[in-house]
Amino acid sequence: MTPTISRLALAAFIVSASLLSVRPAPAAVACGSGNFDAWLADFKTDAAAKGISQQAITAGLAGVTLDPSVVNRDRSQKVFTQTFEEFSGRMVPPRLERGANRMKQYGSVLSRIEQAYGVPGEVLVAIWGLETDFGVNTGKFATIRSLATLAYDCRRSEQFRAELLDALRIVQRGDLAPADMKGAWAGELGQTQFMPSSWMKYAVDFDGNGKRDLLHNAPDVLASTANYLAGYGWQKGKDWQPGSPNFEVLKQWNKSEVYSKTVAYFAAQLARAP
């Protein structure tokens, strides 16, 4: 008679096998661990697990290194202390004529955007001017490198880890090539400075060329900015001055009361411009 495994031995074997099968996965490499390359390798694995293509991961993260200057900027931010009079007096007069010219140049586009999203052109052009001088100063920091640096640094790691994933999704979707993704030191992109998460949520292809391009394409820039404001509850045909519901929407764009008041003031000046 062929010997058989006893029930007790068989049970022990099954328990042992099950323990092996549920052995925990290796722990993720922690932020600020002292080994950025190991952290980045772990991030690539996580990005793939979240559905980002290997092509986008390779294209976006190849050769990415830590940028100490970004960490220094993040840790040395100063509290905004200018009054409305100081800030608006410095920012609005030099941009008013150029803003009025943009209103004329993109008049038909702005009208179509207002029909679609309810946001007046004056508000969009005011934001455009204050953020980047109408697309002249969009920033020169490599976006993916900045985001990877801030995700690795422990101060706001989870926030910027999510932004870095969305930056790769922008690449995967074909909106921008990684080499074109340059902006402000904290990862803001484009002519009105969208974080990647806002780009993914609100960027629109307004001219229908197949790409959402907020770096080079003014109709996409302006329509996406309008879509952002509409997404936060902009009320069509209503005032945007302090105290109004639309002013509260402006504060979702930038939480600074002084900045939001300056947008409102600039837009009102543009509305009266010849």
**Annotated catalytic sites, by residue?**
131
Distance between CA 188 and CA 194 in Å, rounded? 5
> What single-letter amino acid sits at 24?
P
> 113: which residues sit within 8 A by CB, 6+ positions away?
119, 121, 124, 206, 219, 222, 223, 226
Residue 10 is encoded by which pair of tokens?
Answer: 């068989």
DSSP characters for 121-187? HHHHHHHHHHHHTTTT----EEHHHHHHHHHHSSTTHHHHHHHHHHHHHHHHHTS--GGG-EE-TTS
